Structure 1
């Protein structure tokens, strides 16, 4: 099989990757993209308390930031938010460790870092269902068990890898039965389209881009997150720097008060939320709409219920099983060690 890439195709894929920059929404893991250095806080209104917040350029991470700013929810809470863009979870945790970031949005793939004590989860944004494993038609793969001996490209440390591992188990296989190749998002898309791999584990909107490139009729979808509900769900979260929560719990609660309002607003005004997010992130509206179609935003009542009735604990406990399986953690810890629900519950009561 030739390894010569067609120049026009390569340019097209890279342009798509650069324009979407949505990998972070699902990855939160070992993404090859380097996050920007957090900006120095600017002088703000003396009546407002400045906090540094990491976001990702997607419908989970960016939408609350732009709505909070545009609708004045942060200001009402007495906050001056310095929003800093990141493309994956681990650099956010590094920035929290150095004190440059106070609160961050993370995808499910970076949750293991919170479980390791490097952050406390304070809110749940959504449940993801955009991660998929797609086989090429010519590979002959039709179901999970057919992956034996096949080559699968996946950005490791992501929720795409989690779905792949669950599918491999469902097919009665072990990871060593499959040739799993670590690739960045651009490489996975390119390899699939060029026929260099038999399958990829990736997420929307890149799955939609693959469909555009090769045609739906040439894709075999083996499964996605929803195949493993309700035992396994993939929550995206807001996480706080443990030191910041200890020293300034009142600011964390104020942030949750503002996020509570942004949640109500975005759910009632989805079209406006897409438009505002597109303007803020420079990501096309159509790409953001497709992403929104592949996730489930949680309303405030559902988050409160999940925190109080033990559902959230179960979600994160089960997620840790996958982290242990893929080597991100040596052993699971009780979810209550890194779930800090008080700021949200207090905010919800005000």
Structure 2
């Protein structure tokens, strides 16, 4: 029989807790920030509770992620009747990351999708047209263990860092390395899924980790905040880099059925403002739909900068939104996801949102 060490016990506890949280692999992106390419779940169709839409209404296949960014507008759109009012019905299909959504979009199975910052490069490649900004992510963080001796970005040289590659967590790590005068090749970067990265940090198998909320809160709970060195998060790089989470339409669907995209965004704007004004109710409804614990969703709320419709319309108009995405593209060029920066107006459609707000 194997003797359980203290580290092994911590690993077991962290893994057990994480198993109940894996629905939040979006990432911010993904999200997480999980707009990255790893940990994609096989899509399954489900629909929020609410009054059923008439069967003769046109149907839109929408990819969602089980969190406050990628689910809540769908839940509220159904619960509050916004989709029905707009004259559409939504078939909600669950995903856990952006790339599989865009693949499904390319095959014609998905018409509109939510993506985190990490999948923005796919829109820049012409695989999706951004029609709304869901929110700005501030929950990606890089943690180092106290025993590693890491106190600043430059101290990561030669150290081992766990990160789910292709996510906004990796983007924050790369920005931090640049800030510390390092290159990714100066660090031993291990590509891990979310659960593996958190467990490796808790058990001391890596010196640092690049991850996002609510997993950062779980790390602090298991390890102890006093034993963690926080090197930085999204806000460390504001305003040069902002991390928008978006709703994208299939370019083909937008071209062939622009009226349906317009109706979806019209309903989405109502859900967006309702979410901001009634966040506690939004958390409860989203938890019921996604089966993600309310406490986990509340953590995500705390690491999100929400944009009401008026503020978003202004940022579309004055070019701020385009600047956000073109700055992110520079990061994608650096990591090889893009060959060059594409003008944002090639993959961002501001007219759809602005028309929806005016209506």
Sort the TM-score into its range (normalised by shorter chain).
over 0.9
The whole-number CA distance in structure 1 between the counterparts of 2:138 and 2:167 is 13
Cα 1:44–1:259, aligned 2, differ >3 Å: closer, same or farther? Answer: closer
Contact 2:140 2:233 in 1 (8 A): yes
The whole-number CA distance in structure 1 between the counterparts of 2:259 and 2:95 is 25
2:352 counterpart residue number:
343
TM-score when normalising by structure 2: 0.93
Question: Could you tell me which of 235, 244, 247 is aligned with 1:238?
Answer: 247
Cα 1:176–1:188, aligned 2, differ >3 Å: closer, same or farther? Answer: same
3-state SS of 1:48 partner: coil
Asked if residue 216 in structure 1 is aligned to residue 225 in structure 2, the reply is yes
Asked if residue 91 in structure 1 is aligned to residue 93 in structure 2, the reply is no
Mapping for residues 316-331 of structure 1, pairs under 5 Å: 316-331=325-340
1:144 counterpart residue number:
153
Question: Could you tell me which of 11, 19, 22 is aligned with 2:21?
Answer: 19
2:165 counterpart residue number:
156
3-state SS of 1:274 partner: helix
Deviation at 1:13, TM superposition (A): 1.2
1:34 counterpart residue number:
41
2:132 counterpart residue number:
123
Deviation at 1:4, TM superposition (A): 11
Deviation at 1:325, TM superposition (A): 1.0
1:112 counterpart residue number:
121
The whole-number CA distance in structure 1 between the counterparts of 2:21 and 2:210 is 21
The whole-number CA distance in structure 2 between the counterparts of 1:135 and 1:11 is 20
Q: Residue by residue, what CA displacement relative to the aligned partner does 1:150-184 show, whole Å, maximum 9, x if unpaired?
A: 11110011000010011001111111111111111
Deviation at 1:12, TM superposition (A): 4.5
Cα 1:129–1:39, aligned 2, differ >3 Å: closer, same or farther? Answer: closer
The whole-number CA distance in structure 1 between the counterparts of 2:328 and 2:7 is 38
Contact 1:48 1:80 in 2 (8 A): yes
Deviation at 1:49, TM superposition (A): 1.2
Contact 1:47 1:78 in 2 (8 A): no
1:6 counterpart residue number:
8
The whole-number CA distance in structure 1 between the counterparts of 2:24 and 2:82 is 25
1:305 counterpart residue number:
314
Contact 2:160 2:189 in 1 (8 A): yes
Cα 1:166–1:257, aligned 2, differ >3 Å: closer, same or farther? Answer: same
Q: Residue by residue, what CA displacement relative to the aligned partner does 1:300-319 show, whole Å, maximum 9, x if unpaired?
A: 01111111100000000000
Aligned length: 347
Contact 2:98 2:116 in 1 (8 A): yes
Range with greater deviation from structure 2 (54-63 or 340-349): 340-349
The whole-number CA distance in structure 1 between the counterparts of 2:55 and 2:78 is 17
3-state SS of 2:125 partner: helix
1:254 counterpart residue number:
263
The whole-number CA distance in structure 2 between the counterparts of 1:191 and 1:8 is 10
**C-alpha RMSD of the superposition:** 1.9
3-state SS of 1:117 partner: coil
The whole-number CA distance in structure 2 between the counterparts of 1:155 and 1:196 is 15
The whole-number CA distance in structure 2 between the counterparts of 1:3 and 1:204 is 28
Contact 2:25 2:39 in 1 (8 A): no
Q: Which consecutive unaligned segments of at least 5 residues does structure 1 have?
A: none
After superposing on structure 2, the runs of 4+ consecutive aligned residues of structure 1 that deviate more than 6 Å are: 2-5
The whole-number CA distance in structure 2 between the counterparts of 1:14 and 1:206 is 13
Contact 2:77 2:268 in 1 (8 A): yes
Q: Which consecutive unaligned segments of at least 5 residues does structure 2 have?
A: 27-31
Deviation at 1:10, TM superposition (A): 3.1
Cα 1:145–1:126, aligned 2, differ >3 Å: closer, same or farther? Answer: same
